[in-house]
């Protein structure tokens, strides 16, 4: 289960628990002496508790709905202000980029030209360094081949001596 699913699931459970507690409080407040025979069927049973619970839930819903309606304009204004602030900041950044795009391009072009100039200026040095490395490797390889040739000749001589004996 993802983080947000757990978060919202937990919030839903907590909200349900709070709402249930509020309904229970309202039922007790409406019936300080206990629930009576609300449906007037001659006995106090679960149906009476259901009716009182339904009545308490409806009262709480109406009160909450009124509070939300009262707060809606203020919340709408705050959201609108936040959206306008973000929009203004985005417009500022876009304007800054548009205004300075030429400078950014010129700076990038200068950097590329510097690198190209450096490569052109030092190409001879880079080539000489590469040639020196190649020569070193070639010399090492020639030495190894000479060593192997000498060892091979020694081995051939030893084999000849063994055969002649």
- Domain ranges for the chain, please list them: 3-164
**Higher pLDDT, residue 161 or 90:** 90
User: 35: how many CB neighbours lie within 10 A of its CB?
Assistant: 18
pLDDT computed for residue 157 by the predictor? 83
> Rounded to whole angstroms, how far apart are CA atoms 115 and 160?
64
Cα 53 to chain centroid, rounded: 45
Q: pTM score > 0.75 for this model?
A: no
1 pLDDT exceeds 70? no
Cα 9 to chain centroid, rounded: 21
> Rounded to whole angstroms, how far apart are CA atoms 25 and 46?
18
**List of residues 6+ apart from 41 with CB closer than 8 A:** 47
- Give backbone dihedrals phi and psi of 103, rounded to 5 degrees, phi first: -65, -45
Question: 87: part of which helix (H) or strand (E)?
Answer: helix 46-164
133 pLDDT exceeds 80? yes
> Rounded to whole angstroms, how far apart are CA atoms 165 and 158?
11
Q: What is the tens place of the pLDDT at every residue in 5-23? A: 777 777 777 777 778 888 7
Nearest CA among 16, 17, 71, 90 for reference residue 82? 90
> Rounded to whole angstroms, how far apart are CA atoms 49 and 35?
7
pLDDT computed for residue 111 by the predictor? 93
């Amino acid at each position: 289960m993802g983080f947000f699913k757990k978060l919202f699931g937990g919030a839903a459970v907590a909200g349900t628990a709070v709402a249930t507690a509020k309904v229970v409080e309202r039922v007790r407040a409406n019936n300080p002496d206990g629930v009576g025979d609300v449906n007037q069927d001659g006995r106090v049973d679960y149906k009476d508790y259901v009716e009182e619970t339904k009545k308490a839930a409806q009262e709480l819903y109406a009160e909450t709905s009124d509070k939300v309606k009262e707060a809606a304009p203020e919340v709408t204004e705050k959201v609108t202000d936040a959206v306008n602030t973000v929009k203004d900041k985005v417009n500022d950044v876009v304007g800054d980029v548009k205004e300075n795009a030429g400078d950014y391009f010129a700076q990038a072009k200068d950097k590329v030209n510097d690198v190209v100039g450096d490569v052109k200026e030092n190409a001879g040095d880079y080539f000489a360094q590469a040639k020196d490395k190649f020569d070193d490797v070639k010399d090492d390889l020639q030495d190894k081949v000479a060593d192997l040739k000498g060892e091979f000749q020694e081995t051939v001589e030893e084999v000849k001596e063994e055969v002649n004996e």
